[in-house]
């Protein structure tokens, strides 16, 4: 699926990473693995672009981003 405004191919990102979202946002608790579509649904397209770009250009096996909304998004390299 192609999202309007998303700079990355969802299939490539899903193939290269496991994405975990944990924490609370708007009273809803998250502690689950999501794909790009789940990430976009939770944080939006603009923030997803920034997070995915940082994860791609990080050379580590794991990339964590703590958001102001109370969520932590972790990208694990497959």
Q: What does the pLDDT average to over 68-76? A: 95
CB-based burial of residue 25 (10 Å sphere; 0-12 exposed, 13-18 middle, 19+ buried)?
Answer: middle
For residue 2, what pLDDT is reported? Answer: 75
- The Cα–Cα gap between 61 and 17 comes to 10
Helix (H) or strand (E) holding 13: helix 10-16
Q: What confidence tier does 1 reach under pLDDT thresholds 50, 70, 90?
A: low
Q: What is the pLDDT of residues 2-58, one digit of tens each?
A: 789 999 999 999 999 999 999 998 899 999 999 999 999 999 999 999 999 999 999
Q: What is the pTM of this model?
A: 0.91
């Amino acid at each position: 699926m192609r999202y309007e405004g998303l700079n990355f191919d969802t299939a490539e990102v899903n193939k290269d990473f496991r994405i975990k979202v944990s924490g609370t946002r708007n009273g809803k608790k998250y502690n689950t693995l999501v794909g790009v579509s789940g990430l976009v649904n939770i944080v939006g397209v603009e923030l997803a672009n920034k997070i995915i770009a940082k994860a791609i250009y990080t050379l580590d096996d794991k990339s964590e981003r703590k958001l102001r909304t109370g969520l932590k998004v972790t990208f694990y390299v497959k």
